[in-house]
Structure 1
Amino acid sequence: MGNREDLLAGAKRCLREKGYARTTVRDIASAAGGVSMAAIGYHFGSREALLNAALIEGMDEWGTQVMGALAEATDPDATPVERYTATWAEMVNSLAGQRELWLASVEALLQAEHAPEVRAGLAQGQQEGRRGMAAWIKGVEESAVTETAARTLGSVQMALLSGVMMQWLTDPEHAPTGSEVVAGLRELAARLDPDPDPEWGVGETPPE
């Protein structure tokens, strides 16, 4: 790997071991195999920009891992409800293995209140996350996701994931399982629309 890739790998390691706020430039350089601290400024501009990039890449890797596991385990003939339930089960199961990464994301959010650069990086990651989540649920490529779908379906899915993640970080013993999340959504949907369109199910948006 080159210095840039080494720095990203080192930063991801630091996020998991030390968290966002406590990671220093020296920590990253050391974790990157002794890369010069000056290389951080050269490649990323600042410690914050590097940590943001590492956090977003870590989240992308988590998403790829989850989606890969789902692609292998999910029956191609599964219904939308079955597919969505499997998605939640896999996401919840993976939270325990990525606890440090999720904690780092919460730390970054707190830092963003006083650091515009951090806020901008997180905002960009959220925009990408909305589109990616909408694409998975709809079963299409991200390029096919409309802005409306990203801002509705994608935003709601991200809000649900963030909320469940916070419950798991706080009290994993009593946090909801994937099937419980879907059961709650089904009840909520039934209360909002007691006579849903039979042509689309839970986890899908009506035709645009």
Structure 2
Amino acid sequence: MGHREDLLEGARRCLLEKGWVGTTARDIVAASGANLASIGYHYGSKNALMMEAFLQLTEDWGQEVERSLATGIRPGAPRDERIAAVLDAVVEGFSENRPFWQAQLEVMGQLDRHPELKERFAQAMPAGREGLVAMFEGVADTDVPEEASRTSGSVYYSLFIGLWVQWLIDPALVPSGAEVVAGLRRVVDGTVLAPAPAPSAK
């Protein structure tokens, strides 16, 4: 690998081991074997390099979830079953990548102090919503219409962020995918305050 790739790999390791706030440029240099000046040459700044590492880790996580779904959803499953399975896979992905999701919370806390980070997040958000639609619907990103990304993608994104924050506080508080689907149905049907239906007899 060249210095650019070495720096990116070093930044990935530092992000997972030290977090966003705890990582210095010298930490990245030590982890990558590159030199301090190469950060500015290849990425412009430490924050820009860290953002690239962060986005790459996010992409890796998405691919891991997709691999899990490829074997975890039975062919022809009903829609509510598929959505529940995707939600369960997402939460399982949190547990398998805890250092990354803890670092992501740190990143969010830096946005107001670093406008360039907020801009990068804003630029990446449409693609993120598109990717979530593709994941939940079982289609390729290229098959997701812009309107679906903006509407349904925003709903999926909200579910994702909400589950993530609940999981960070206490994984035991996170509802199952089936419970989330049941909650969504109650919200849409206007039966939030009505008694939950009794389980059907088998």
TM norm. shorter chain > 0.5: yes
Question: Match for 2:89: what amino acid?
Answer: E
Aligned-pair CA distance for 1:109: 1.4
Aligned-pair CA distance for 1:137: 2.3
1:8 aligns with 2:8: yes
Question: Match for 1:6: what amino acid?
Answer: D
Q: Deviations over 1:128-161 (max 9, x none)?
A: 1101111222332212222211111111111111
In structure 1, stretches of 5+ residues that fail to align are: 193-208
Structure 1 window deviating more from structure 2 (63-72 vs 173-182): it is 173-182
Q: Deviations over 1:31-84 (max 9, x none)?
A: 12x111211111111111111111111111101000111112221221222211
| 2:159 match | 160
What is the rounded CA distance, in whole Å, between the counterparts of 1:79 and 1:68 in structure 2? 20
**Native 8 Å contact 1:25 1:37 kept in 2:** yes
What is the rounded CA distance, in whole Å, between the counterparts of 2:20 and 2:169 in structure 1? 18
| 1:84 match | 83
| 1:123 match | 122
**Native 8 Å contact 1:20 1:107 kept in 2:** yes
**Native 8 Å contact 1:49 1:121 kept in 2:** no
Structure 1 window deviating more from structure 2 (158-167 vs 170-179): it is 170-179
Question: Match for 2:19: what amino acid?
Answer: G
Length, aligned pairs only: 191
| 2:200 match | none
What is the rounded CA distance, in whole Å, between the counterparts of 1:67 and 1:112 in structure 2? 28
1:31 aligns with 2:38: no
**Native 8 Å contact 1:91 1:178 kept in 2:** no
**Native 8 Å contact 2:83 2:177 kept in 1:** no
In structure 2, stretches of 5+ residues that fail to align are: 192-202
Structure 1 window deviating more from structure 2 (140-149 vs 110-119): it is 140-149
Find the residue that maps to 2:20 and give its secondary structure.
Answer: coil
- For residues 90-109 of structure 1, the aligned pairs below 5 Å read 90-109=89-108
**Native 8 Å contact 1:131 1:145 kept in 2:** yes
| 2:41 match | 42
**Distance 1:142-1:186 versus aligned 2 partners, 3 A rule:** same
Question: Match for 2:159: what amino acid?
Answer: L
Q: Deviations over 1:180-202 (max 9, x none)?
A: 2222222222228xxxxxxxxxx
| 2:198 match | none
In angstroms, what is the RMSD of aligned CA positions?
Answer: 1.5
| 2:59 match | 60
1:135 aligns with 2:134: yes
What is the rounded CA distance, in whole Å, between the counterparts of 1:90 and 1:138 in structure 2? 14
| 1:175 match | 174
**Native 8 Å contact 1:52 1:122 kept in 2:** no
Moved segments of 4+, more than 4 Å: none
| 1:203 match | none
